[in-house]
Amino acid sequence: MIFDTISNANRYTKLHPLFPQVFEYVKNTDLKKIASGRHAIFGEDVFLIIQHVAGTSRDETKLECHRKYIDIQLVLDGVDEMAWKPLSDCKQALESYDELRDVQFFEDEPTAWLATPANKFCIFFPEDAHAALVSEHHIHKAVFKIAVNPAGK
């Protein structure tokens, strides 16, 4: 898991072959003007989900993990209190891994909560269980889903 400000994004471009293109897209795109929903960036290798939603409480959220995609969650407006726990420490699965939706949920308590304001981001890798959209207010964010094993790389 990585937590940083978007101005430091170049530090992470070597971690994955598609990170340079994703961060270039962030730099050259007014994400606040993109409608809510799912948007293809590089086919199924990279897509973007824009969320403009009311926050939930810590009690209402569940840790989740993904196997096929890495999340880069960038807050555009508001503060998203994101949770994290090493997947290896999660022992209370609520369901089996759903390969079609690329998600598994857990009842475990997070190890850490990160108040993530605008222009800050978290990168969650497959070994990171995480939860998001926790706030007393509205949250506007961009979630980039990057294929762990991209088809073209």
**What is the per-residue pLDDT across 85-110, written as a single tens digit (0 to 9) for each?**
999 999 999 999 999 999 999 999 99
Planar angle of CA 8, 146, 90, nearest 5 degrees: 90
CATH 3.40.50.620 assigned to 2-147: no
Rounded to whole angstroms, the Cα distance separating 122 from 6 reads: 10
Sketch the domain layout of the chain as residue ranges. 2-147
Residue 121's nearest CA partner among 86, 78, 83, 76 is 76
Backbone angles phi, psi at 82, to 5 degrees: -90, 145
Is residue 137 within 8 Å of residue 79, measured between CB atoms? Answer: yes
pLDDT tens digits for 18-60? 999 999 999 999 999 999 999 999 999 999 999 999 999 999 9
Q: What is the pTM of this model?
A: 0.96
